[in-house]
A and B are shown apart, each in its own frame.
Chain A
Amino acid sequence: DTAVSQTPKYLVTQMGNDKSIKCEQNLGHDTMYWYKQDSKKFLKIMFSYNNKELIINETVPNRFSPKSPDKAHLNLHINSLELGDSAVYFCASSLRSGGALETQYFGPGTRLLVL
């Protein structure tokens, strides 16, 4: 019954590797997001998709590529991982992105450690 789920929960990998994080929501929401939270808990939005269409693309290295096969899924692929990519990555969803009332529902996070 998990509303927003992410896999894996933990990811430890070597510098230079390519990895993917998956996100699924079963809330029937139209909009999904990826956030990066650093060690100081600062939360930064990376991408937002509405109905499989990219609507927010913050200043993120192009090593990060989101993919939305359908509106219930938003995956994040990271190429050539660097030490600075170590963080917690949160997926979130909201019913739609066009209303100021929209609550975002967050997944449990994926803790990425690059060695």
Chain B
Amino acid sequence: GDSVTQMEGPVTLSEEAFLTINCTYTATGYPSLFWYVQYPGEGLQLLLKATKADDKGSNKGFEATYRKETTSFHLEKGSVQVSDSAVYFCALHSGGYQKVTFGTGTKLQVIP
């Protein structure tokens, strides 16, 4: 079955540091890949997505590239802010009536 593996958190960074959160997946076929973000006390919201190999999703300074050869979709940001503190979920969808498979989430804490 489909699965998503994320690096364990929490990740603590100083403001303006470079962020990488690793995500790898296993899936049949050619899934779409997503990053969702959950701010404290809120529901998840889509951060970015990519639908085919070599696609790069980007939003709010975050980027992730769909790497089929390494089955990865790592999230990066060049300079994090305190407001980026949240839990980040990597997810995939294999299409059709398949469920979306979420990773376990990685908590990011950015300190001033």
Q: A42-B104, A43-B105, A108-B43 are in contact. Are A100 and B31 (CB under 8 A)?
A: yes
Cα-based distance from A4 to B41 in the complex (angstroms):
15
Task: Give the contact-size bracket for chain B.
Answer: 20 to 34
Asked whether any CB of chain B lies closer than 8 Å to the CB of A101, the reply is yes
Which residues of A are found within 8 Å of B41, using beta-carbon distances?
Answer: 108
Chain B 92-112, CB-CB to A under 8 Å as 1, else 0, gives 011111011010110100000
Which residues of A are found within 8 Å of B69, using beta-carbon distances?
Answer: none
Closest-by-CB residue of B relative to A50 is B97
Cα-based distance from A106 to B102 in the complex (angstroms):
14
Interface SS, A side: loop
Q: Say how far B57's CB is from chain A's closest CB, in angstroms.
A: 11
Most buried by A among B34, B94, B107: B34
Q: Say how far B55's CB is from chain A's closest CB, in angstroms.
A: 11
Q: Say how far A104's CB is from chain B's closest CB, in angstroms.
A: 6
Cα-based distance from A101 to B51 in the complex (angstroms):
7
Q: Say how far B90's CB is from chain A's closest CB, in angstroms.
A: 11
Whether the Cβ atoms of A108 and B89 lie closer than 8 Å is no
Whether the Cβ atoms of B43 and A41 lie closer than 8 Å is no
Cα-based distance from A97 to B45 in the complex (angstroms):
17
Closest-by-CB residue of B relative to A31 is B97
- Please pick, from B32, B38, B89, B105, the residue contacting A101 in the complex, using a CB distance under 8 A: B32
- The residues of A with any CB-CB pair to B shorter than 8 Å are 4, 40-43, 45, 48, 50, 55-56, 58, 90, 92, 97-109
- The residues of B with any CB-CB pair to A shorter than 8 Å are 31-32, 34, 36, 38, 41-46, 49, 51, 87, 89, 93-97, 99-100, 102, 104-105, 107
A-B contact pairs, 9 of them (CB 8 A): A4-B43, A50-B97, A97-B97, A98-B96, A104-B36, A104-B44, A105-B45, A106-B45, A108-B43
